[in-house]
Amino acid sequence: MSEQSFPPQQQEPPGITSAMDPLPDHGESSYVGHDRLAGRRALITGGDSGIGRAVAIAYAREGADVAFTYLPEEKEDADATQALVEEAGRKAVPIEADLRESATCDRVVAEATEALGGLDILVNNAGFQMARSEELADLTDENLDRTLKTNLYAMFWMSRAAARQFGPGSCIINNSSIQAFDPSTTLLDYASTKAAINNATINLAAQLGPKGIRVNAVAPGPIWTPLQPATQTEEKVQKFGQETPLGRAGQPAEVAPAFVFLASESDASYVSGTVLGVTGGKGVF
C-alpha cells in the first residue's frame, strides 16, 4: 500500500463522515476568514458533509449566516455542521429535505429566506453518483431518475426559487465536476449531469446577469468525502486521487476557497458564467 492509499472501506449512500478513515479535513482547524461575506445569507444544499460542510465553515468564518439541507440519514452530520457554523458566531439553519421534488425545493428556499431574513447566495452542492456496470442495458429508469433529479432537476428548481428572492449582488454557485470534462464510463449518468450543469451555468449567467446576479460553477477533482466510499468500489476508493498530476485526493478544505472567491462581491464582482477547476492538475476545458 502506497502512502497515498486509503484503507479499504464501503458505506451505503448517502454515507456518514464519522465512518470514514481517515476523517476528511473541512478546514475546522485551518480556515481563517477575512469578512469577505460579512452580513450575507447563504443556502447550501447538502451542507451536512464533504465539500458542503467545508463551504459552510468557510462562509460562516467569512461572516455569512448559513442555511443548509441534509437528508434524514445525515442528521449526525447536520448537527456537526450546525455546531461549526454557530462556533463561528453565525446563524445556522439546518433544513431536512430530499430535493428530488420541485415543491420541496420551493419549501427549502422559502424556509431559508424566512429564517435568514433574505437570501443572497445559493450553492447547489447536493449530488448523487453511483458506480455502474459498463453495460448500458443495466442502467435502469430508477438509476437515471435518482441521479438526474438530484443533480440536475434540483439545480434548476432551487435556482428558480432562489432567483425570485435575489436582489442585485446575489449569486448562484453550482458544484460541477472533473467528470464534466473527462467522463468515466462507470459514471455515465452522473458525468452527463455535470456537463449539463456547466452548460446551464453559462445560460443562467446570461439570463440573470442583467439583474445583477452572477452564476458560476466549481469543478472539483477527486475529493475525500462520504460520497466516495458510499458509491465507488473498494478498489477505486483505495487508489482514489492517485491518477491526478498532484498524485493524491484533495480535501474538502481545499475546495471551499473557490466557493468563497466566487461568492465574494469584492473579489469576483466581474466573474460570471465560468467554471473554476479544483482538480489536482486535470484540465477543465
Give the Cα separation of 205 and 72 in Å (integer): 33
Print the binding letters for residues 124-143 with ligand NAD: x by CB under 6 A, - otherwise: -xxxx---------------
By CB under 6 A, tell whether 27 contacts ligand NAD: no
Q: Where in the sequence numbering do the catalytic residues fall?
A: 190
CB 173 within 8 A of CB 208: no
Distances (CA, A) of 269 to 36, 164, 264: 12, 21, 7
Binding ligand NAD (rule: CB under 6 A), the pick from 76, 98, 101, 111 is: 98
Print the binding letters for residues 218-237 with ligand NAD: x by CB under 6 A, - otherwise: --x-xx-xxxx---------
Answer with the entry of Mg ion, ligand NAD, none that 59 interacts with (C-beta below 5 to 8 A by kind).
Answer: none
For residue 224, the number of C-alpha atoms closer than 13 Å in the C-beta half-sphere is 27
Contacts of 81 (CB under 8 A, 6+ apart): 47, 48, 49, 52, 53, 56, 57, 68, 70, 92, 94
Answer with the entry of ligand NAD, Mg ion, none that 51 interacts with (C-beta below 5 to 8 A by kind).
Answer: ligand NAD
20 or 188: CB nearest Mg ion: 20
Binding ligand NAD (rule: CB under 6 A), the pick from 91, 100, 236, 248 is: 100
Instruction: Kindly state the DSSP code that residue 94 receives in the 8-state scheme.
Output: E
Q: How far is the CB of 50 from ligand NAD (least distance, A)?
A: 2
Q: How far is the CB of 97 from ligand NAD (least distance, A)?
A: 6
The residue type at 10: Q
Answer with the entry of ligand NAD, Mg ion, none that 163 interacts with (C-beta below 5 to 8 A by kind).
Answer: none
Instruction: Kindly state the DSSP code that residue 2 receives in the 8-state scheme.
Output: -
38 or 83: CB nearest Mg ion: 83
Print the binding letters for residues 46-65 with ligand NAD: x by CB under 6 A, - otherwise: x-xxxxx-------------
Q: Is the dihedral of CA 269, 178, 158, 47 positive or negative?
A: negative
Q: How far is the CB of 183 from ligand NAD (least distance, A)?
A: 12
33 or 226: CB nearest ligand NAD: 226
**Where on the chain is the footprint of Mg ion (CB under 5 A)?**
14, 48-49, 74
49 or 192: CB nearest Mg ion: 49
| Residues near ligand NAD (CB under 6 A) | 14-15, 45-46, 48-52, 69-71, 74, 97-100, 125-128, 150, 175, 177, 220, 222-223, 225-228
